[in-house]
Structure 1
Amino acid sequence: MGIGIRCLIGTVFLVSSFSKVAGRGAFAAFTTSIRDMGLLPRALVRPAAWAVVIAEFAVWALLAVPAPAPAAVGFVIALGLLVAFAIGITAVVRRGVRAPCRCFGASATPLGPRHVVRNVLLAVASALGAVAVFSTGALQVAGVAVAVPCGLLLGGLTVALDDLFVLFQPVRTAPAAARGLR
C-alpha cells in the first residue's frame, strides 16, 4: 500500500510543482491566482507562491527516496500543504471568489467544492502513507507491480480531474429557434 500511495502523492506533487514554473508566465499566473483569492496581504503573495512551489518539489523528491524517514517527511509536508489548501479553498468558495484553480497549471476552472474534497482525500492518503512507510515489511514483486501502476493512474486521474469534469458535463445547446431551425 505504501508504494502505491507514494506514487499517487508523488505524481500529484510532481505535476503540480512543475506546472507552476514550467513555461513562460506559469509562475506569474500562479502568483496572480493566489493574489486573486484574497487570502493573503499583497506583500506575502509572492513569497507564499515560492514557498508552495519549493514545498511541492520537496514532497515528490522526498517520496522518491527509498528510505522510510525521508518519505515520511515528504508525506508530512504533503499533508500540511493539502490541509492548508483545503482550508484556503474553503474560505475562497465561501466568500464567492471565482479564482481559477492553478493547481496543475493553466486552468480557467474556478476553485470549488470538488477541489476541497480532492485535497481532503489526498491529505488522508498522505497521512496513511506516512504511517505505511514504517509499517511495511519486505516489498513483494507482485505487490509492487500492482501498486505502482495503480498509484500512477490515480495520480494522473487526480491531475486531470478538472478536465474529466468538463468532459462529462452535459452539452448545452441553444433552442432550435435560436439556431435558425424551425
Structure 2
Amino acid sequence: MEDTAMPYVALALRLTLAGVFLVSALMKARSIGDTVAMWTALLKSVRLTGGGLARAASWTLIGVEAVTGVALLAGGALSTPALVAAMVLLSIFSALAMVAARAKLNVACACFGRAAAPLGRRHVWRNLVLLGIAVAGVAVQVDVPLEAGGIAVAAGAAVVITSLTAFYDDIVDLVGGA
C-alpha cells in the first residue's frame, strides 16, 4: 500500500468506529427498555439489583458511546484520545461478553438497541475485531491534507462496515452461526 493511502485508511478506521458508537448510542436510546433490561440482567448476575441502577448505567453508556463517536468524528487532536476511549470501551464490552459466555448468563444483547441474541461468544469476536480497528487506527494516524475523492471512499467503507456491525447478530443468525 502506498504511503498516500494511509491517511485514508486511518480516516476509514476512525469513521467506522464513530459510526458504530453513534449508531449504537442512538439505537440504545430508541430502545431504552431493551437496554435497561440488558443492564438489569447483567447487574443481577453480580447480585446488584434495582431498576434505577440499570437505567443510570444504560444512559451513562449511551452518553459515553455518543461522546466517543463525536470525538472520533472530530478528529484532529481528539483522534488519539477518542481511539483510546474506543479501545477501553471495546475491551470492557469484550470482557462482559466473555464473562456472559463462560457463565452461560441469560442476557439478551441490546448492543445496538433491540434485544437480540444472548450475549456471548459471537459478541466477543465482533468486539475484538472492532478493538483491532481501534488499535490499527492509532497505529496508522497520519496528519496530511485529504482529497475529496479519498474522503468519500473512506466514508463509504465506514458506512458498509458500520452497517455490517450493527446487523451482525442478524447476519450470524441468517447464516446459521452460534
What TM bracket, shorter-length normalisation?
A: 0.7 to 0.9
Match of 1:47 in 2: 56
Match of 1:139 in 2: 146
Work out whether 1:108 is the aligned partner of 2:98: no
Judge which range, 122-131 or 76-85, deviates more. Answer: 122-131
Superimposed CA distance per residue, residues 108-146 of structure 1 (whole angstroms, 9 cap, x where no aligned partner): 31112110011111112112223434x342223343232
Q: TM-score, normalised by structure 1?
A: 0.81
Work out whether 1:166 is the aligned partner of 2:173: yes
Matched letter for residue 19 of structure 1: M
Equivalent residue pairs, number: 165
Q: 1:108 to 1:148 in 2, by over 3 A?
A: closer
Q: Report which of the two structures shows the higher radius of gyration computed on alpha carbons.
A: 1
Correspondence list, 1:28-67, <5 A: 28-37=33-42, 38-39=45-46, 41-42=48-49, 44-66=53-75
Work out whether 1:129 is the aligned partner of 2:137: yes
Matched letter for residue 40 of structure 2: R
Q: Is the 8 A contact 2:109 2:115 kept in 1?
A: yes
Which ranges of structure 1 fall in alignment gaps of 5 or more residues? 171-182
Q: Is the 8 A contact 1:39 1:88 kept in 2?
A: no
Q: CA RMSD in A?
A: 1.9
Which ranges of structure 2 fall in alignment gaps of 5 or more residues? 1-8
Work out whether 1:3 is the aligned partner of 2:11: yes
Identity of aligned residues (%): 27
**Structure number having the greater helix percentage:** 2
Q: CA deviation at 1:104?
A: 0.5
